Amino acid sequence: MMMRSGTDWKEIYTPGSELDKHRDLLLNEAKAYYEDYAYKAKAAIPPGTKFNYSTLDTCIVGWALERAVRRPLAAYMSEKLWQPAGMETDAYWVQ
């Protein structure tokens, strides 16, 4: 949750980068890139030692929460966060 997993993940979205290509697959073709990458991620440094902005880390935390509550994450967050906060419009969720 603190983006200190120590994986080799690089949050680089420049046109043509690996993440840019896979992000397009995720958004346009509903491919599960982040989950696929999580299975093959390698340790770059010891966990907890350095902050690295990482969509991968937040996705893994989301999957863990989803499995713990046995509900889709978007539905759980709507019930526990969005609705109690009194939001007036629907949220946009990319998973």
Predicted confidence at residue 29, as pLDDT, reads 62
Residue-wise pLDDT for 54-75, tens only, equals: 888 888 888 889 999 999 988 9
Stretches in the chain below the pLDDT threshold 50: none
Per-residue model confidence (pLDDT) at position 43 = 92
How many C-beta atoms surround the C-beta of residue 38 within 10 A?
17
User: Looking at residue 95, what is its pLDDT?
Assistant: 58
Show me where the domains of the chain are located.
1-95
**Which pair of structure tokens corresponds to residue 2?**
């603190």
Sign of the torsion angle spanned by Cα atoms 44, 50, 55, 60: positive
Helix 33-40 and helix 18-29, axial crossing angle in degrees, nearest 10: 140
Does pTM surpass 0.85?
Answer: no
Handedness of CA 53, 55, 76, 82 (dihedral sign): positive
